[in-house]
Structure 1
Amino acid sequence: METPNELMVVFSNTISAGFDALQGAVNGVFGLLIVLVVALTGVQWALSSNREVLAAGFGKVLLIGAFAYLINDWQQLSETIYAGFLELGLTAGGGSLSREEFLNPGAVLQQGWEIVKALGETPAPVDNPLDVVGNMADALILGLAMIGIMLAFALLALQIIVSLLEFKIVTLGGFVLLPFGIWSKSAFLAERPLGYVVSSGLKVLALAIVVSGARTVFDQLQPSANPDIYEALTILVAAILLAMLAMFIPNLASALVTGGPALGAGAALTGALAVGGAGALAGAGIAGAGAMGAGGAARVAGPARAAAGAGGGRPPSAPPPSGVGPRGGGGTPRPTPS
């Protein structure tokens, strides 16, 4: 499956070309800010009588030089950061996955398809061939499990693509804001992008750990020669767990930064519902057909129940005579005072 790989490469090349397109504008803003900072430092130096301003001026020169290096080599530095976090994640995940295999979401889809194909081509053992309803229910459960497994692997492949593109987009946005870091009044504009680049790198690290560990897990969860419903559901639960971890990678990265756990049973339930949503639609269609038949039977039985109630029920009570109140009390009506 080369389509996910081609999609990732096209978007990645488009974003990478943005660095060259924005290089001139970023250098222009950087030059203007250099002039502003040097002018303000010179005015402060001229109006001050102590030597602390001279030390601050040397600090400004070093700061400008550091940001000039960041701006000129920002793309290469960001790719180095990405590759470093990725290698750390793959190593922490067991080292069973290479960098080229991680950046190949088509291989992830192919692995999911091989599992689904093995479940579908091998017929499950049938206890009673004459039990049509039971066999149909088993086939329905197996089909829903296959759909859920394929959706889980598709979500994982999409998460790999999104993590790569997110890192490149964040680094491109941070590249535009880097020149503002040399002036103290606008330094806050450059602080957040620099921190977010590290956060995106942590997301890549966490995703690499999940994918590398899942490679070992699913190599051991290949369907047997005669898979049954329990085996299919076991693989489905493992696939849902993998998709849930991939969906909540931002929370995992936040846990690495803040030092607290960010996942729980609620997150797992959300991931399971998201993965099994499409499979539930198929079951809802079958249930809807049965509901239509039940509704028709209810409409036929309705008049029969009404007729039975009219024949076997109590006769309607006669209306009360005139002059008798609603509480059953008799007597003549009380005259109205004039």
Structure 2
Amino acid sequence: MNPDLNIIDNFLAVFTTYIDSGFGLLSGDVAFLTTVLIGIDVTLAALWWAMDNDSDVLGRLIKKTLYVGAFAFIIGNFNTLADIIFRSFSGLGITASGGGMSAADLLRPGAIGGTGFKAAWPLLVKVGTLSGFPEFFGNFLTIAVLLVCWFLVVLAFLGMAVQVFITIIEFKLTTLAGFVLVPFALWNKTSFLAERVLGGVISSGIKIMVLAVIIGIGTNFFAQLNSLVGADPGIAEALSLLMGALTLVGLAIFGPSIASGLVTGAPQLGAGAAVGTVAGAALATGGAAMLGTRAAMAGASGGMAAIRAGTAMGSAGATAYRLGQETSGSSTMRAGMGGIGTAIGGATSQGLKAAAARVTAPFRDAAGRGQQAAWHAGRTSSPSSASPGASVAGAAAGAAGGAPAWARNLRSEQAARHRRHMAMQTVKDGDRPGGSANPDLSDKE
């Protein structure tokens, strides 16, 4: 089966088109900011040179002109230069991986998700063959394992596709947002703003290069993943496919942190990457299992309720039949059916009485509360002191019944929240954001 998962490719194309058009929309504001900052910098430099009689004014003027001209070129062609950086880093990554894909393939993350779905499709076919009515109960364990493996493999490749999408969009957004800050490099006092921008662009480019290496190497195994399960996959083949998919998605998610390690000069991958990948898979499996368990419990409770109701009705009918025969002194069917009719009439009258009691109960309670309030209002002592035995009895009853249901539910929710927090903290420790390079753009004289 060849699924069409190019929806994420369309998203990427739309985002890229809008971001590229943003450079043209912001060019007027950036040009105005550039003019203002150049005027401030040149005016201050001219005043400083005028007061410094012994300095080489011509040399400093040439240096200032070259500096301003270089950044004017960068600002005027920032979108083109950013695209060159993106293609250069992605091309270097693809070349380093052996050239198994092209730079255009990196811009189609939907193909990665489609590859995972295609590789896991034989698992669903196998589950379909094992899901017959007699065979389902004997193959339940195999079906459960195959379904969990299929779910995790598809989830792993979809996560890898989303990681590629986010990395590319991160680079595009960094360049667009940084386009407004680059002109601040023209004045020495505000050059630190442009330093962060250029460092962020370079760090994002290195991240794309690392991801291109991982995806490029992974494409060499995509064909092997498709042929790994075969036509008749079992539990061993499904687990092998799952291991390969989790390995690739772990590299794709935690591998780009190598870029921050290259910039900051420290290694980034460790046990947190492996634990984070396994924890994410376990969390997804646990969520799916919990939903299935709740659905099964709901179905079982509904079935048991129906069975209990049927059993109660059958027992009541048999008892009423025997009582009718015994009270009439006859063993005929007419006497038994008369007993059943009497029981039905009694049950109907009791039901009507119970319904009437439920309707009138709020009014009786309100009347009782009014009488009690009037009684306490006419006394000089407090209600608590008037009836201490009632409060003691209520406290004893509450203590005897144990923790209420809401307290038990709150305790279980707190425990589940604590476990989820531990899993998310593990993933966070494995995928921490990295720092950026900080080039020095100050014009030192």
Hey, what does 1:301 align to over in structure 2?
none
CA distance in 1, matches of 2:295, 2:272: 32
1:278 aligns with 2:279: no
Unaligned runs of 5+ in 2: 305-445
2:166 counterpart letter in structure 1: V
Unaligned runs of 5+ in 1: 297-338
Q: 1:240 aligns to what SS in structure 2?
A: helix
Hey, what does 2:222 align to over in structure 1?
218
2:236 to 224, 230, 240: 230
Hey, what does 1:2 align to over in structure 2?
6
TM-score, structure 2 normalization: 0.62
CA distance in 2, matches of 1:80, 1:285: 48
1:73 to 70, 77, 97: 77
CA distance in 1, matches of 2:295, 2:174: 49
Hey, what does 1:25 align to over in structure 2?
29
Alignment check: 8 A CA contact 1:167 1:197 kept: yes
* Cα distance per residue 1:243-299 (max 9 Å; x no partner): 1222224412112223432112222121222244333222123444677879x9xxx
* Cα distance per residue 1:140-192 (max 9 Å; x no partner): 11101100000111111111111111111101111111111011111101111
Q: Percent identity?
A: 36
1:166 aligns with 2:170: yes
- Structure 1 pair 173/123, CA: closer, same or farther in 2 (3 Å)? closer
Alignment check: 8 A CA contact 1:124 1:226 kept: no
CA distance in 1, matches of 2:149, 2:82: 40
Hey, what does 1:142 align to over in structure 2?
146
Measure how far apart 1:7 and its partner are.
0.6
1:145 counterpart letter in structure 2: C
Which stretch of structure 1 is more off in the superposition, 96-105 or 201-210? 96-105
Q: 1:44 aligns to what SS in structure 2?
A: helix
- Structure 1 pair 252/133, CA: closer, same or farther in 2 (3 Å)? farther
CA distance in 2, matches of 1:23, 1:132: 65
CA distance in 2, matches of 1:44, 1:27: 26
RMSD: 2.4
Measure how far apart 1:58 and its partner are.
2.1
Hey, what does 2:110 align to over in structure 1?
106
Q: 2:180 aligns to what SS in structure 1?
A: helix
* Cα distance per residue 1:104-134 (max 9 Å; x no partner): 11211111111121222135998xx988666
1:175 aligns with 2:179: yes
Hey, what does 1:82 align to over in structure 2?
86
Q: Which has the higher helix share?
A: 2
Which stretch of structure 1 is more off in the superposition, 96-105 or 73-82? 96-105
CA distance in 2, matches of 1:19, 1:290: 55
Measure how far apart 1:49 and its partner are.
1.1
- Structure 1 pair 105/276, CA: closer, same or farther in 2 (3 Å)? farther
* Cα distance per residue 1:43-97 (max 9 Å; x no partner): 1111111124443332111110000000011100000000000000011112111
CA distance in 2, matches of 1:8, 1:48: 55
Q: Which has the larger radius of gyration?
A: 2
1:11 aligns with 2:44: no
Q: 2:223 aligns to what SS in structure 1?
A: helix
Hey, what does 1:206 align to over in structure 2?
210
1:265 counterpart letter in structure 2: A
Hey, what does 2:385 align to over in structure 1?
none
Hey, what does 1:50 align to over in structure 2?
54
Alignment check: 8 A CA contact 1:89 1:206 kept: yes
TM-score, structure 1 normalization: 0.80
1:47 counterpart letter in structure 2: M
Q: How many residues align?
A: 294
2:115 counterpart letter in structure 1: Q
1:269 counterpart letter in structure 2: V
1:256 counterpart letter in structure 2: L
2:159 to 152, 155, 176: 155
CA distance in 2, matches of 1:257, 1:121: 47
